[in-house]
Structure 1
Amino acid sequence: MSRPVVGIIGNHHILHDEYPAHAGGTMNSEAVARVADCVPMLIPADPRFLSVEELLESCHGFLLTGGRPNVHPEEYGEAATEAHGAFDRARDAITLPLIRACVERGQPFLGICRGFQEVNVAMGGSLYPEIRDLPGRMNHRMPPDGTLEEKFALRHTVTFTEGGPFHHLMGAKQVMTNTLHGQGINRPGARIVIDGTAPDGTPEAIYVDGAPGFTMSVQWHPEWDAANDPVSRPLFKAFGQAVHAWYFGAKPQNHRQSA
């Protein structure tokens, strides 16, 4: 029997300064295929080419990936400034309604970095344009120099809520993660539970309260070395189990029930 399909949200890029393309990091596909044990399928996140309804029927779960463009602040009622960076309105138009539909249906998704932020915005929350500009906050951005190994190296702890879903999944209240993001949660959306934070108080792990399916999302990048990292592997394995359960028609189980 074939494996279930995970739709991986792609990002728009211009190759060689002129060629438009949708692309996704190989490490995302590797984590989905080798750790979650699902078929990775790259999605061109643009409503000109597909609809949310088609995605819900074609895929069994979704990986909401990171990406350089940010969610447009108009999506949470604010005006764009230079600090907000680049945008991808086509991706916004697909992912935000997709997240809300998955929450309602119980269809599993895993949010990563921008995907984590999309989950918050989709549920009515807002974002800070630049975390490092806030008093008392550390610089969470990717180091500008070095190898990929150095850029994705573990850089700070994340502390989970005692007895919460992430604590239960990881088997530890505190873990080490990488950090490669500029924006972060300002106002949590309705039903968004912040279940893990960095030492400076920046939200790093969330889920949707009362959702009938898997909605765990993280601000770090667990796709890096997912097969070996002791934090990334259980997260992708749990996501894969939820996708397999959806594929085989099992009743979705919310995070409070599973914890």
Structure 2
Amino acid sequence: MSESVSESESPVRGSRPLIGISTYLDPKVSWGVWQLPAALLPAGYPRLVQAAGGIAAMLPPDDPSYAESVVARLDGVVVAGGPDVEPERYGAVREERTGPPAPERDAWELALIEAALASGTPLLGICRGMQLMNVALGGTLIQHMDGHAEAVGVFGTHSVKPVPDTLYASIVPDASTDVPTYHHQAVDRLGRDLIVSAYAADGTVEAVELPRPAWALGVQWHPEIGEDTRVMAALVRAAS
């Protein structure tokens, strides 16, 4: 079921929370007459934040030592999807089907996650962002699995089921929800203090969170692709 945010659920106009979103860092992007390095983000991310009542700010990779001061200026943090996490980050040997490393993103986003958790700033991890949350808390990843992506560059759909009495279940209480998905990695060993809050039909972990009173949620799917704003709206409410 898709839901948009009603006016009564949105923050008061003029006091909309500032939500920082991590970005890709691409060595060569084309637009107009230009081919240049770019920090970029699919437009679905800021549009989802805006639809949920927040103001979106892009957080391109930076010196990890700045993460604490950056997060201090934000009301909420979103760690976006993207390339595979370096296996060395969780003590594993790189497998053949693991994608190229993105060390700048890994270092920056791990620092953002740690700063958000330390300060109690509401945190949402999306796909890679969820996986990186797990790694930041000492967990590990399955480096390749089949069946959770239609084809290269094509989002698929599958159902996820919430775990009762979790934050995610309070946000999306439906018995089952179809979500847009595109990934080939997943949570293996769970990071410290994390709990699983949704599963796919095949048992894949689809959402993780920290116990209340923290507001730290990771989802394996891509809410910025679909029409359901409930997860992002919950982050924006927490950030308000």
TM range, normalised to the smaller chain?
Answer: 0.7 to 0.9
For 1:218 and 1:177, the matched residues in 2 are separated by 10
Partner of 1:58: 73
2:237 to 225, 241, 244: 241
2:22 is matched with which residue? 9
SS of 2:216's equivalent in the other structure is coil
Cα separation, 2, equivalents of 1:142 and 1:63: 25
Correspondent of 1:75 among 63, 67, 89? 89
Other structure's SS at 1:66 match: coil
Secondary structure of the structure 2 residue equivalent to 1:82: coil
TM-score by length of 2: 0.86
Question: Secondary structure, in 3 states, of the residue corresponding to 2:181?
Answer: coil
Per the alignment, residue 214 of structure 2 pairs with 213
Give the structure-1-normalised TM-score: 0.80
Give aligned pairs, total: 223
- Please give the alpha-carbon distance, in whole angstroms, between the structure 1 residues aligned to 2:92 and 2:203: 23
Contact 1:161 1:173 in 2 (8 A): no
Q: Secondary structure at the match of 1:189?
A: coil
Indicate the structure with greater strand content: 2
Deviations 1:220-240 (A, max 9, x none): 001123xxx3xx321111111
- 1:91-137 per-position Cα deviation (integer Å, ceiling 9, x unaligned): 111111221221222101111000010110011001111012xxxxx
1:123 and 1:141 map into 2 onto residues whose CA distance is 26
Task: Name the CA distance, whole Å, in 2 between partners of 1:46 and 1:70.
Answer: 19
**1:41 and 2:53 correspond:** no
Residue number in structure 1 paired with 2:46: 29
Which structure has greater helix proportion? 1
Report the alpha carbon displacement of residue 143 of structure 1 after superposing the two structures with TM: 2.5
**Does the CA contact (< 8 Å) of 2:122 and 2:239 recur in 1?**
yes
Q: Distance in 2 between matches of 1:89 and 1:100?
A: 16
Question: Secondary structure in 2 aligned to 1:62?
Answer: strand
Look up the equivalent residue of 1:22 and give its one-letter code. Answer: A
Q: Is the 8 A contact 1:7 1:43 kept in 2?
A: yes
How large is the RMSD of aligned CA atoms in angstroms? 1.9
CA distances 1:192-223 after superposition (whole Å, capped 9, x unpaired)? 1111111111100110135x432111000011
Residue range with higher mean Cα deviation, 14-23 or 94-103? 14-23
How is 1:165-184 mapped onto 2 (pairs within 5 angstroms)? Answer: 165-184=167-186
CA–CA distance in structure 2, aligned partners of residues 62 and 15 of structure 1: 25
Alignment match, 1:148: none
Shift of 1:2: 4.3
Evaluate the alpha carbon distance shift between residue 142 and residue 58 of structure 1 in structure 2; reply closer, same or farther with a 3 A threshold: farther
Segments of structure 1 that go 5 or more residues without pairing to the other structure are 133-138, 146-150, 245-259
- Shift of the 144–91 alpha-carbon distance from structure 1 to 2, 3 Å rule, reads closer
CA distance in 2: counterparts of 1:81 and 1:184, whole angstroms = 14
Check the 8 A contact 1:142/1:181 in 2, yes or no. no
Secondary structure of the structure 2 residue equivalent to 1:131: coil
* Secondary structure, counterpart of 1:117 in structure 2: helix
Aligned to 2:5: none
What displacement does 1:55 show? Answer: 1.2
Partner of 1:256: none
The aligned counterpart of 2:119 is 105
Matches within 5 A, 1:64-213: 64-67=79-82, 69-132=83-146, 139-144=147-152, 151-152=154-155, 155-210=157-212, 212-213=213-214
Structure 1 residue runs of 4+, over 3 Å off? none
- Tell whether the 8 Å contact from 2:81 to 2:127 is kept in structure 1 after alignment: yes
